[in-house]
């Protein structure tokens, strides 16, 4: 998914990517079929601040660890622990907890009798770290389970197959799977997936409508899930150049969950675009302190580069590179695209191209092809870049960045008419894509 989902990016909000099923809680309540106005409901219950959310997940992890210690052969206990660890990544940005969540699921699968096991949770975790092969294997095991499946589980499995189709560039099959899942159980997770699909197709208003609809369909409506939805909407507004509206949505996310580390990433970017560099730096430094997010380190390096402070820029980019390398060793699929972007901005374009190639080979969807094209352009491989971009466009992907890179390729190849057409298409999607502010965007760039 885009960065927010994995992560927001990240194996989140784009940040990069967590899959939509983990962003909002499932609900058996039917969702509205019409698109809602761009408002979110009030929060229901749950931790009301970043500090409270982190403390709550710490308690959940401690309890789950006790369960595993008492019964280490129980795959159910390990599944509970895995979910708590994944929550820790979402709530506090603890990447090591996300990695351990996968390790606990692997131990649970090994301990489970034939025909059982944490298979659906394994598929969800695999998608959160972009491991499509593990997701496929886990879903096949889920299909073979002896226990009769619930409606919610059936819908979740179909949605995950839609995610696999999305990541492999088959947007039509993804849409079909999401529609099928919605017919079984029209919960908020499926609606949020439809939003991601609509955004990828350049249909921003529909995407925002789906996200607000997902908020209404969520029976729990915790402050964090609603904050995540607000951040997604803000990211869409940012991607189409509506920077003030994006900033307003980030402000809503902050009110929903004060101190949220993901909000600090995006609010920092909005502050930088508005010329409040000191505020941006403070937000990103706080995000680093809370979560250790290398995305925030990269943003700091970029901000200091723009300010002409070479020493601080190099210090932050060096710190980010070390963390990206550490994460690559722990979970390469979850990290490769972000690490490639780091190398393009601060490091070696050849190394970036290698990682972008591997990322696109594993997930040949539009965003991965655009990243690969960007790396190819940086290495003077303009015809190859154009081929990747046209493949993404043929698959239904529409974004201002796609057309910016296509214009760059066409210019270099001497086709001025095609370059002009690509620039015009980019401006249709984001009228501010050629402004100096657009060059400052590190998150939610579209």
Whether 127 and 159 have beta carbons less than 8 Å apart is answered as no
Global pTM exceeds 0.75: yes
pLDDT value for 45? 77
3-class secondary structure, 12 = strand
pLDDT at 443 over 90: no
pLDDT value for 14? 32
CA distance 239 to 445: 5
- The full DSSP string for 59-71 is HHHHHHHHHHHH-
Mean pLDDT score of the chain: 90
pLDDT value for 445? 62
Nearest to 66 by CA among 54, 80, 55: 80
pLDDT at 148 over 90: no
Residue-wise pLDDT tens digits, 333-365: 999 999 999 999 999 999 999 999 999 999 999
Start-end of CATH 1.25.40.10 domains in the chain: 4-248, 301-440
More confident residue, 253 or 444: 253
pLDDT at 113 over 90: yes
Region 283-309: mean pLDDT is 96
Contact partners, residue 110, CB within 8 Å, separation at least 6 = none
CA distance 326 to 338: 13
pLDDT value for 446? 62
Fold of 301-440: 1.25.40
Cα separations in angstroms, 142 against 23, 115, 135, 297, 412: 22, 8, 10, 39, 49
Region 17-45: mean pLDDT is 48
pLDDT value for 16? 30
Share of the chain above pLDDT 90, in %: 83
Query: In which element (H, E) is residue 357 found?
Result: helix 349-362
pLDDT value for 39? 81
Residue-wise pLDDT tens digits, 265-276: 999 999 999 999
pLDDT value for 146? 84
Residue-wise pLDDT tens digits, 401-438: 999 999 999 999 999 999 999 999 999 999 999 999 89
pLDDT value for 50? 87
Region 139-152: mean pLDDT is 89
Region 160-183: mean pLDDT is 97
Pair of tokens at residue 44: 């229901």
Level-2 CATH architecture, domain 4-248: Alpha Horseshoe (1.25)
Pair of tokens at residue 102: 């996968």
pLDDT value for 444? 67
pLDDT at 78 over 60: yes
């Amino acid at each position: 998914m885009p960065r927010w989902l994995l992560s927001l990016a990240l194996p989140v909000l784009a940040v990069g990517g967590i899959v939509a099923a983990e962003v909002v809680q499932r609900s058996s309540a039917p969702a509205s079929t019409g698109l809602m106005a761009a408002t979110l409901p009030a929060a229901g219950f749950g931790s009301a601040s970043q500090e409270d959310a982190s403390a709550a997940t710490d308690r959940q992890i401690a309890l789950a660890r006790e369960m595993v210690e008492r019964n280490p052969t129980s795959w159910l206990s390990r599944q509970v622990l895995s979910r708590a660890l994944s929550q820790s990544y979402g709530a506090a940005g603890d990447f090591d907890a996300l990695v351990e969540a996968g390790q606990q699921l692997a131990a649970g699968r090994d301990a489970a009798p034939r025909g059982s096991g944490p298979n659906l949770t394994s598929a969800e975790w695999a998608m959160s770290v972009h491991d499509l092969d593990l997701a496929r294997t886990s879903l096949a095991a889920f299909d073979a389970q002896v226990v009769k499946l619930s409606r919610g589980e059936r819908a979740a499995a179909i949605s995950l197959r839609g995610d696999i189709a999305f990541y492999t560039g088959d947007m039509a099959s993804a849409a079909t799977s999401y529609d099928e899942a919605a017919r079984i159980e029209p919960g908020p997770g499926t609606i949020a997936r439809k939003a991601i699909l609509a955004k990828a197709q350049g249909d921003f208003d529909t995407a925002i409508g789906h996200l607000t609809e997902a908020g209404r369909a969520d029976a729990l409506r915790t402050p964090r899930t609603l904050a995540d939805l607000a951040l997604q909407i803000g990211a869409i507004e940012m991607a189409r150049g509506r920077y003030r509206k994006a900033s307003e949505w980030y402000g809503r996310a902050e009110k929903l969950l004060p101190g949220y580390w993901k909000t600090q990433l995006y609010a920092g970017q909005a502050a930088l675009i508005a010329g409040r560099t000191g505020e941006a730096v403070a937000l990103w430094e706080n995000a680093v302190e809370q979560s250790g997010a290398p995305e925030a380190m990269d943003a700091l390096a970029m901000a200091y580069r723009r300010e002409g402070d070479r020493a601080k820029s190099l210090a932050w980019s060096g710190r980010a590179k070390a963390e990206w390398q550490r994460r690559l060793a722990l979970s390469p699929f979850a990290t490769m695209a972000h690490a490639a972007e780091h190398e393009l901005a601060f490091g070696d374009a050849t190394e970036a191209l290698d990682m972008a190639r591997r990322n696109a080979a594993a997930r040949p969807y539009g965003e991965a092809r655009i990243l690969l094209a960007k790396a190819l352009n940086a290495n003077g491989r303009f015809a190859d870049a154009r081929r990747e971009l046209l493949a993404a466009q043929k698959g239904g992907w529409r974004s201002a960045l796609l057309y910016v890179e296509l214009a760059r390729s066409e210019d270099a190849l001497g086709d001025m008419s095609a370059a002009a057409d690509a620039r015009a298409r980019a401006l249709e999607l984001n009228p501010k894509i050629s402004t100096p502010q657009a060059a400052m965007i590190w998150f939610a760039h579209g």
